[in-house]
Amino acid sequence: MKAGSRIVKFGVAFFCVFSLVLNAFGDEGMWLFNAAPKNQVKAKYGFEITDAWLQHLQLSSVRFNNGGSGSFVSPDGLAFTNHHVGSTCLHGLSSAGNDY
């Protein structure tokens, strides 16, 4: 195979893969509390995002010392997060008799 035809085949393959990537995007994505897509959510889902709702949402979130995040789910401080976020704490609390 000649070098020129390899370059053309690579270029065609690259174009095909790149065009697929352009079509792969998230619908709702992630956004900051101060940049909520209020109009888009209202138009698409019929839900009105209010400043009070955003403040409640923000106050229910928690950031852990290891960089992980979660959400408060009770007024007593119970938090919901992924296992890998709490694994260091779980290992520290575990013992031979209590393997958390």
Query: What letter does residue 28 receive in the DSSP assignment?
Result: S
Query: What letter does residue 33 receive in the DSSP assignment?
Result: G
pLDDT score of 29 more than 60? yes
**% of the chain residues with pLDDT over 90:** 25
User: SS3 of 79, please?
Assistant: strand
* Cβ atoms 74, 62 nearer than 8 A: no
- The verdict on pTM exceeding 0.95 is no
Q: In whole angstroms, what separates CA 87 from the centre of its chain?
A: 19
Rounded Cα distance, 42 and 17, in Å: 34
Quick one: tokens of 70?
Answer: 């979660």
- pLDDT at position 88 is 85
